[in-house]
Chains A and B, each alone.
Chain A
Amino acid sequence: MNAGLRAVSRPDWSGRSSRALRRSRPQRLGERPKTTVDWADLIGRVAAHGDRDAFKFLFEHFAPRVKGFLVKTGMQPDAAEEIAQSTLVAVWRKAGQFDPSSAGAAAWIFTIARNLRIDAARRAARQSRADQPTEPDDGLDAVESPETTMARRDDVTRVTAALSRLSEEQSTVIRLSFIEERPHAEIASALGIPLGTVKSRIRLAMSKLRDLLDEPR
């Protein structure tokens, strides 16, 4: 299968050749990534010519992680399974919208899963109120103007720079609190700090991130 992948080379994706695939083999469930796979390159292949082998790599890596991530944030396994499947279907369908210079494949896949989770929650809330119009989407799929795209690429540099200067401790506390949505008591024991300081630790990390993002380059 790898040989087949390697043979495919797209001129319009030439900056990102099949290096990635030579560097690594597909990861098995539960395996820690040994090498960095160029996921953006694989998404590009799916976008460019519906490359099923490239998509299989993406599926095998990300689908179980999306499910694991959702379960960790408190979702029932059945619901998480459904969203993980739909997320990968959307990765296939929206591959052309992925911008390789953006924050990265994992962040992009996260936003897809997040939007599907929002949709599912709203659908559930709507079910008791039949005959209501469907809600609008939040515009994340809207086509961007070139100016917006440029501004966003500029942002990626700033965002990456800011995040790299955030301390490990601070990004951990943000992750536990907002992304994994853990209760403060759990965060306290995970970090080995008193419950009373969790709140101020979170607030401090958030304003630090804001400050780093505000700094002129």
Chain B
Amino acid sequence: MTINHHPPEDLLADFATGSLDEADHLVVAVHAAQCPRCSRFIQAMEHLAGAALEEARPIALSGTFKAIMARIDEGPAEPSAAAPVPAGLPDEDLPDILRRCHFGKRRRVAPGVKLQPIILPGAGQSRAFLLWSAPGTKMLQHSHTGTELTCVLKGSFAHEGGHYGPGDFDFGDGEVDHQPLVGGGEPCLALVAMSGDLKLHGWLGRLITPFVRL
């Protein structure tokens, strides 16, 4: 797999420091898990963060070493027993990170387009979902004030920014007004995180808006 499109550096940096919204974090994680180039960048940021931690001005803890050892000897507080079984997993060959997610109901939102929300209860203002689009579909043409993060999982699409295949990451912000076209002979499956006010143009956008609810 050749990945040609990567997240911008500041997004990777915010990912590395844990400052991204949960939905955005998920899309960057899915890209980085299959992109050695970006995972190196994230490691570099973690390295710099480690150096900053090492040099941070220490603040004495109120908890003593003895108290910490007592906590350790108690064993894990929360019975980290069976992790909750992911619900609603679509029948797709998904990356491991997504296989541990909870999914909402998959719905057909337009001819050739299906959407399945990912349930992220800790998420702030962005929403994540899987989007299936049939070959030849013109996806939402839109512009918005927030951001839109996409990682292609299967198939491909193209817009003015280039051709996006599996693993490729597309970052859209307020300056972008794209109308992606799904290419090739196979459906495109993409993971998308969206935030902000979305202004949709065209028939598909109007159909999808109530489902994306942004």
Contact = CB atoms under 8 A, between A and B. Distances in A.
Interface of A: 29-30, 33, 52, 56, 59-60, 62-69, 71-72, 77, 80-81, 84-85, 88-89, 92-93, 103-111, 113-115, 117-118, 121-126, 129, 132-139, 142, 151-152, 155-156, 158-160, 162-163, 171, 174-175, 178-181, 202, 206-207, 209-210, 213-214
Contacts of A133: 84, 87, 102, 119, 121
Given A163-B44, A178-B45, A206-B10, A68 B52 contact: no
A65 B9 contact: no
B48 A59 contact: no
Contacts of B46: 103, 107, 110-111
Contact of B59 (A67, A103, A209): A67
B47 A160 contact: yes
A171 B59 contact: no
Nearest to A104: B50
A22 to B, nearest CB: 21
Interface stretch (B32-40, B105-113, B132-140): B32-40
B50 to A, nearest CB: 3
B63 A81 contact: yes
A180 to B, nearest CB: 7
Q: Lowest 4 A-B CB distances belong to which pairs?
A: A122-B122, A107-B50, A64-B58, A106-B50
Nearest to B15: A138
B145 interface: no
B4 interface: no
Contacts of B1: none
A162 B42 CA distance: 13
A159 B96 contact: no
Contacts of A175: 48, 51-52
Nearest to A126: B121
A122 B15 CA distance: 15
A52 B36 contact: no
Interface string B151-177: 000000000000000000000000000
Given A52-B69, A60-B65, A110-B50, A122 B22 contact: yes
Contact of A206 (B13, B49, B72, B86): B13
Given A125-B22, A129-B121, A178-B17, 8 more contacts: A52-B69, A84-B61, A93-B76, A133-B87, A136-B97, A139-B97, A152-B43, A181-B17
B213 interface: no
A203 B16 CA distance: 17
B54 A88 contact: no
B206 interface: no
B65 A107 contact: no
